[in-house]
Amino acid sequence: MTKLWKIEPGQAAPDYRELAEAGAMLAAGGTVAFPTETVYGLGADATNTAAVEAIFTAKGRPSDNPLIVHIANIGQLDELVQETDAVSRRLMETFWPGPLTFVLPVRPGAVSSRVTAGLSTVAVRMPDHPVALALIDSAGCPVAAPSANRSGRPSPTTAGHVSDDLAGRIGGIVDGGQTGVGVESTVVAVEAGGRRIRVLRPGGVTVAELKQAVPEADVTVETAAEEAEAPRSPGMKYAHYAPQGRLTIVQGDEKERVSWVLRSLGEAKAAGERTGVLTVAEHVELFEADLVVGCGGIGSMAGAARDLYAALRRFDEAGITYILAEGYESTEGIGLAVLNRLNKAAGHRIVHISQADC
């Protein structure tokens, strides 16, 4: 039986007595899902190999994909890593607590080798969520936590999503309401003596924000080709976030794009598909399909980030077999993370529509 603790959001003076039990479960080697500012994580004591193995089992996650370790105070960092370079420290001062994860040289023996998948580095972050911080504190250990979904499914942004995927498979769920950012943290590695910040996974902290914090460093983003050759962040190589239906991203000039989507929906329907459209709020009325989901708005990719995973889950609930996503092209700001996740959900199926296609 999976235990459920509900924390009322927005309490003026939060009373986290409920978390003592959840913290004790973590300390005793159990698995507990909890909210962060990005998505819900599935936590376990990072120093306890059996506990970490229970995460992989519950999620059905490939064991060569390492986990992020979550901490509640900066003192915990020194116990986990051998050293922290000056640029990483500056970024921590700017963005922690927050959606930024650092890959740093691991202190031998500090965490189970199942957390690092045997690498000489460990990924660490301090989440910006009062419930997450209080829970980690209460557990009294560093908490390894991947997103709390079955492997391959969209990440959970509500306790209900966690329960849909993992009820009966984990020790408990702390329900702290809907998460804020909606996509996972940005994973970075600082290299070349602080002259390069390599973004291994785009996320809640944007490339522009990194550049602003460290103007003298080059900020590079892993391209799809580099990823395929030698994934630096092992999680990048797996199919992720995918709905059960066949999802295709449609890009190009708006007029041509919209008419292509309309025509394709008609053809798919005639072929017996259950059709769906994922689009910006302003375009919802343009389409007729079995399910049209508005997610974000033109120029509001923060809204798209917040609602993306919940939207992808809705297509599964409605049994949609054919899904087109349109209105998502901007890689500005958090748009980069939105397109990265959408791309993976679509298995990199993108069609570019030009006038010649219409």
- Residue numbers of the site for ligand TXA (CB under 6 A)? 36, 38-39, 41, 65-68, 99, 101, 103, 116, 119, 121-123, 127, 145-147, 184-185, 187, 200-201, 233-236
Task: List b or e across 158-194, with b for residues whose CB sees 16 or more CB atoms inside 10 angstroms.
Answer: bbbbbbbbbeeebbbbbbbebbbbbbbbbbbbbbeeb
Would you say 308 and 355 are in contact if contact means Cβ atoms under 8 Å apart? no
Q: Name the residue nearer to ligand TXA (CB basis): 146 or 327.
A: 146
Minimum distance from residue 232 beta carbon to ligand TXA (Å): 6
Chain-centre distance for alpha carbon 4: 22
What token pair was written down for 187? 């994973």
Residues tagged in the binding site annotation for L-threonine: 38, 70, 125, 145, 185
Measured in whole angstroms, the distance separating CA 74 from the mean position of its chain's CA atoms is: 23
178 contacts 199 by C-beta, under 8 angstroms: no
Cα dihedral across residues 249, 250, 252, 254: positive or negative: negative
Cα radius of gyration rounded to whole Å, the chain: 21
**Based on CB atoms, which residue is closest to Mg ion, 147 or 275?**
147
Whichever of 177 and 234 has its CB closer to ligand TXA, that residue is: 234
Partner whose binding site includes residue 305, from ligand TXA, Mg ion, none (CB under 5 to 8 Å by kind): none
Q: What, of ligand TXA, Mg ion, none, does residue 180 touch, CB below 5 to 8 Å by kind?
A: none
Residue 156, binding choice from Mg ion, ligand TXA, none, Cβ under 5 to 8 Å by partner class: none
Comparing CB distances to ligand TXA, the nearer of 112 and 116 is: 116
303 binds, among ligand TXA, Mg ion, none (CB under 5 to 8 A by kind): none
Of 147 and 343, CB closest to Mg ion: 147
Residues 342 and 219: their CA atoms lie apart, in Å, by 22
Q: Which residues are annotated as a binding site for ATP?
A: 61, 65, 121, 147, 155, 201, 241
* Minimum separation from the CB atom of position 65 to Mg ion (A): 9
Question: Counting every residue, how long is the chain?
Answer: 358
Subset of 95-154 contacting Mg ion (CB under 5 A): 147
Place of tokens 């995460």: 55
The nearest distance, CB 329 to Mg ion, in angstroms, is: 24
Maximum CA extent, the chain: 63
Of residues 351, 337, 132, the one with CA closest to residue 241: 337
**Residue 33 binds: one of ligand TXA, Mg ion, none (C-beta under 5 to 8 A by kind):** none
* Partner whose footprint covers residue 200, from ligand TXA, Mg ion, none (CB < 5 to 8 Å by kind): ligand TXA
Contact 101, 224 (CB under 8 A): no
Interface residues toward Mg ion, by CB under 5 A: 147
